[in-house]
C-alpha cells in the first residue's frame, strides 16, 4: 500500500517539530478557530484511478483529528466510499500519500461498518461479534466478557443466541456496529450504515452511535448522503464534489454534545442544515477548477 508514515524526528530539534505543528495547524484550521483535536491522519494530494480508467478521486487533501466525528457528505460518485477504503487500507492510492501522526494504526485499531450489515447468516449474534477477536486469536471463552459487554452497549443484551434472519434491519446493523467496536478501535469508519433504514430506526441509531462515540472516544469518519444526519452527528462536515471526486469545502458544527431530540427541532439545527445544503448545492454545480479553489480557501 502506498502509505507513508511521517512523524517529527526529536533529534532534528525543536524547529522541525514547530514547523510540523504549524503545518498541522494550517491544514486542520485550528489557527482559524477550527477543531482543537491533534491531527491523527492526513491525506495529501491523494488520487485513485481504477483499472478501467475511472478517476474516483483527484488531489484530495484532508485532515482527520483525534476524537473527530467527521462526516463525508456528497452526491453519489464523488468518491466518499473510495476515500474510506483508502484510509482503511482495503485499496491503495494511485497518487499522493496517506500520513499517520505517530505510529500507524494496526488492524485491531480500525473498525469498519459497511452499507450492509454483512453478517454471517449461519452464525449467532455472539459469534458474529466474536469474529474479529477470534481472528486475532482470542478464544470464545476469553472473548465472552468483551462480546457481551459490547452487545449490552448497543442494546442487544439477551440476543446472543439469535441468528441474523431473526433480527430486524436495525438490529442487524447494531450487530455490525458491535462487531466493529468489540476490538476497541481508535478509528471507526462507517459507509452509509443507516441509509436503508426507516427514519425512526435511523434516528435511534444516530442517538446510540453518538452515545458510543462519547463513551469510547474513538475517531469516527462517517459517509452519508444526508445533510440532516451529517449535521446531527458531526463535529465537522467535509463536503465532496464529483467527477473527479475531491474535497470542496469543510464546515464546522460547533454544537455541544450530547445532542438530544430537542436539537433536531431547534432553529440552530435548521440553520446549520440550510448552511450545509447550500454548500452541497455549490459542490454539485462546481467545475473542477472551482472545487480546487473552494478547498484551498475554505469556501466563501
Which H or E run contains 49?
Answer: strand 39-49
Q: Flag residues of the chain having pLDDT under 50.
A: 1-35, 296-300
d(CA 170, CA 178): 12
d(CA 38, CA 277): 28
Overall pTM surpassing 0.85 (yes/no): no
pLDDT of residue 28: 40
CB 46 within 8 A of CB 98: yes
CATH superfamily of 67-89+104-297: P-loop containing nucleotide triphosphate hydrolases (3.40.50.300)
pLDDT of residue 106: 78
pLDDT of residue 294: 54
pLDDT of residue 286: 78
pLDDT of residue 288: 67
CA distances from 232 to 198, 220, 221, 262, 278 (A): 17, 14, 14, 11, 16
d(CA 91, CA 94): 10
Amino acid at each position: 500500500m502506498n502509505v507513508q508514515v511521517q512523524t517529527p524526528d526529536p533529534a532534528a530539534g525543536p524547529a522541525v517539530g514547530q514547523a510540523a505543528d504549524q503545518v498541522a495547524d494550517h491544514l486542520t484550521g485550528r489557527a482559524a478557530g477550527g477543531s482543537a483535536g491533534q491531527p491523527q491522519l492526513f491525506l495529501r494530494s491523494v488520487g485513485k484511478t481504477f483499472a478501467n480508467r475511472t478517476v474516483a478521486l483527484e488531489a484530495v487533501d484532508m485532515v482527520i483529528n483525534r476524537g473527530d466525528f467527521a462526516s463525508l457528505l456528497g452526491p453519489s460518485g464523488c468518491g466518499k466510499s473510495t476515500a474510506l477504503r483508502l484510509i482503511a487500507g482495503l485499496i491503495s492510492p494511485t497518487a499522493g500519500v496517506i500520513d499517520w501522526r505517530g505510529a500507524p494504526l494496526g488492524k485491531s485499531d480500525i473498525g469498519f461498518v459497511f452499507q450492509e450489515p454483512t453478517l454471517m447468516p449461519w452464525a449467532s449474534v455472539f459469534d458474529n461479534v466474536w469474529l474479529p477477536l477470534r481472528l486475532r486469536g482470542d478464544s470464545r471463552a476469553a472473548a465472552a466478557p468483551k462480546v457481551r459487554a459490547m452487545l449490552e452497549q448497543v442494546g442487544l443484551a439477551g440476543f446472543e443466541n439469535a441468528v441474523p434472519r431473526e433480527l430486524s434491519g436495525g438490529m442487524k446493523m447494531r450487530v455490525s456496529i458491535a462487531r466493529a467496536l468489540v476490538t476497541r478501535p481508535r478509528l471507526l469508519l462507517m459507509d452509509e450504515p443507516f441509509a436503508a433504514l426507516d427514519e425512526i430506526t435511523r434516528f435511534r441509531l444516530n442517538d446510540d452511535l453518538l452515545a458510543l462515540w462519547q463513551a469510547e472516544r474513538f475517531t469516527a469518519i462517517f459517509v452519508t448522503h444526508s445533510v440532516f444526519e451529517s449535521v446531527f452527528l458531526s463535529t465537522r462536515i467535509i463536503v465532496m464534489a464529483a467527477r473527479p471526486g475531491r474535497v470542496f469545502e469543510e464546515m464546522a458544527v460547533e454544537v455541544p454534545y450530547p445532542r438530544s431530540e430537542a436539537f433536531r427541532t431547534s432553529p440552530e439545527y435548521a440553520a446549520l442544515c440550510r448552511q450545509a445544503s447550500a454548500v452541497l448545492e455549490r459542490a454539485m454545480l462546481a467545475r473542477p477548477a472551482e472545487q480546487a479553489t473552494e478547498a484551498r480557501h475554505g469556501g466563501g
